[in-house]
Amino acid sequence: MRSASFVRLLLASSAYITHASAENCCWSDYWAENNRLWLTWDEPAGAVKCGLAGPLYPGTRCSVEHAKDVDGNTQALANVVFGDGENANTFKFLIAFDPHNCDTLPEDQFVTGWVGWGSFLFKKHRFKKEKMHRCTDVQDHLGLGENVAGNASDA
């Protein structure tokens, strides 16, 4: 009898620990036939990182600002700057997700996607959650997190 209680306690504890622990996440946003914004949640670093792939203007780069909401969900703003100097244009991509399961928040809570000036240029974009190995492959190929554009035909 006592061992059954202990087993229940052990199972309940491990279920809580599993739920409380976060994981790394990977997403991509594909637009204009061959360009991709890669976003990863790096749990150990507690940071969202970005990378770009495709035939992009020289000097194109991205950076990420992030915060947590009151429910512990992570919100990130990726600033994507196309070009350099006077010809540079900045576009913004928002994402909010539950770091326990990598699911983006429902649209009635937070809209994930391109926002603000120029967002209409990305109307036909395709955003999706990716298997982590996809971001790892891109990281090895492009240096994800270094925030510079590169060409990745296999991305």
Per-residue tens of pLDDT for the chain, all 155 residues: 454 543 444 344 333 333 444 579 999 999 998 999 999 998 888 899 999 999 998 899 999 999 988 988 899 999 999 988 888 999 999 999 998 888 999 999 998 999 999 999 999 999 999 998 888 776 665 555 544 444 443 33
On whether the pTM is more than 0.85, the answer is: no
Q: How many CB atoms lie within 10 A of CB 139?
A: 18
Q: Alpha-carbon distance 20 to 13, whole Å?
A: 10
CA–CA separation, 107 and 53 (whole Å): 26
Distance between start and end Cα atoms, the chain: 55
